[in-house]
Chain A
Amino acid sequence: MCGPADFEALQTCIVRVLALSSAGLGTYVVRQTVQALSDLRGKKPERLEAVPAADSCDVLARGGHAEYSSR
């Protein structure tokens, strides 16, 4: 790179840096959001497991916990 000052090229450079940075940041945010949502969905089956069974025999078959034997 040589010659006289080229502020137009510098302006283009700044715009491109900002654009690339925004794209990178946006990608990172999207990726983190998707990961968080996947983790959230991944936890739901565990919560369903913790819901007490209507049938007490079912609870006993599973070796149910004391907190589910209160009915």
Chain B
Amino acid sequence: MVAWENRAGTLGSLKRCGIALLIGVAGGAIFLFLFPGGALSTLMHEVLHLPGPGAGIALVVGPIALLCILLAASVLGRFGGATLAAVGFSGMCVVVSAVLTLAGGEKGMFGSPWFIAAIGTCGLLADILLWATKRATAPLRFAVAAAGANIGLLLFFWLLIFPRTKGWVLLQDVPVLLAVCLAGGLVAGALGWILSKRIPGILFRLSVR
């Protein structure tokens, strides 16, 4: 079960909503800084020799987004925190891609509303899974939410984005990519849980039990 520290009424909730959104925005900025155009695809296919499309989403984009999403969910302490952070994350990516006219995001449509829809869906899934597992222990909640949302994100890309840009994923690559996706989600969930217990009081740290 999760106990929320509810400091004060509406103003406190708005402040926490703002912080949840900012966590997503910061995460988006960090992601764009760390992975310039072409780096993700090169890392996945040339270095790790993972099949595609979807390896970058499963192993990097999804887990990084989920880390921010879960932290934001911890801060807000109610349904919607994960979705807010997801919108912040993807919105930041879209805005920066558009402003800087970044190249290299065509395959995953990083600079398009489709990307906001994909990450937003991931955040909503995380919210739903966190709500559905509210009677479970915190580590399990984070693990299930992260793994489930990461797989949902990958499926979104496979079904709605990649067919427009890169083509359909091959059936024989699906098990490998799903396994990678699950592993990435679990790592993100574990890190998210650990960090959610260590965030300073200014971010309205919750006591998770």
Contacts and interface: CB of A to CB of B under 8 A. Distances in A.
Interface of A: 1-3, 5-7, 9-10, 12-13, 16-17, 20
B43 A3 contact: no
Contact of A2 (B39, B47, B107): B107
Main secondary structure of the interface of B (DSSP, over half): helix
Contacts of A20: 30, 33-34
Given A1-B41, A3-B41, 15 more contacts: A1-B37, A1-B40, A1-B105, A2-B104, A2-B106, A3-B38, A3-B104, A5-B41, A6-B37, A6-B42, A9-B37, A10-B47, A13-B40, A20-B30, A20-B34
B108 interface: yes
B107 A12 contact: no
B34 A1 contact: no
Contacts of A6: 37-39, 41-42, 104
B43 A10 contact: yes
B38 A9 contact: yes
Contact of B104 (A1, A7, A16, A17): A1
Interface of B: 30, 33-43, 45-47, 56, 104-108, 110, 165-166
A22 to B, nearest CB: 13
Nearest to A11: B39
A10 to B, nearest CB: 5
Contacts of B56: 1
A6 B36 CA distance: 10
A9 B107 contact: no
Nearest to A4: B38
Contacts of B47: 10
Contacts of A2: 41, 104, 106-108, 165-166
Given A2-B104, A3-B38, A16 B33 contact: yes
A57 B163 CA distance: 90
A7 B41 CA distance: 10
A44 B52 CA distance: 61
A67 B107 CA distance: 78
A9 B107 CA distance: 16
Contact of A13 (B35, B45, B106, B166): B35
A20 B43 CA distance: 18
